[in-house]
Amino acid sequence: MRAGFGIVGDRYAGKPAHRDASVTVLAAESVAALAAALGAGPLDPLLARRNVVLRGAEVEALRGQLFSLDSGEGEVLLQGGRPANPCVWLDTVLADGAHRGMRGRGGIRCAPLTDGVLRLGPAVLRSAVPLEAARAGDIVRPALRGGHARDTPG
């Protein structure tokens, strides 16, 4: 990963429109919650085509926040940004209704602020904001004024 560029070899790396959003991060629990909502069998979160898939991390709370990931090669600093809105392709690769069902929990787009290496496997996530693992698959909708609002199960 290169600061201000993205993931070397990724189709969006170095593209001007994606420099502040070249890395996508998703909570695996979001896909599990989608499967439950759709009554589908287990769905593979890797099919959502996000660069980084985390388990046990409230990814949506990292919108607008600095955080780091370390998979054993040193920390990579990221700036959490806008939502990584799902595309209609999810209806094909995951299940009918996945596109709509992932809205508000499709992960976030991030800007890489430092160069570094992320590897497949366990990683340490560091963030100044408290993250609740139990909320990892929750739907988050943008608030009308700053911050973010969470939909709560009713």
Q: Compute the residue count for the chain.
A: 154
Is 90 domain-assigned? Answer: yes
pLDDT, tens only, 8-45 = 998 888 888 777 899 999 999 999 999 999 998 899 99
pLDDT at 151 over 70: no
- The mean per-residue pLDDT over the stretch 56-61 comes to 93
Higher pLDDT, 88 or 20: 88
Tens of pLDDT, residue by residue over 107-149, are: 999 999 999 999 999 999 999 999 999 999 999 876 544 554 5
Q: What is the pLDDT of residue 143?
A: 56
CATH of the domain at 89: 2.40.33.20
Distance separating alpha carbons of residues 115 and 29, to the nearest angstrom: 28
Domain count, the chain: 1
Domain span at residue 70 reads 1-115
Is residue 121, in this structure, part of any structural domain at all?
no
pLDDT at 23: 95
Question: Is 144 domain-assigned?
Answer: no
Q: What are 7's two structure tokens?
A: 């993931």
The answer as to whether 135 is a domain residue is no
Regarding pTM above 0.85, the answer is yes
What is the reported pLDDT for 16?
83
Residue 88 lies in a domain: yes
**Residue 150 domain-assigned?**
no
The DSSP call for residue 89 is H
Q: Does the pLDDT at position 67 exceed 60? A: yes
Q: Mapping DSSP to helix (H, G, I), strand (E, B) and coil, where does residue 101 land? A: helix
Structural domain contains residue 31: yes
Given a cut of 60, is residue 154 above it in pLDDT?
no
140: in domain: no
> What pLDDT does residue 153 have?
45
Model confidence at 150: pLDDT above 70:
no
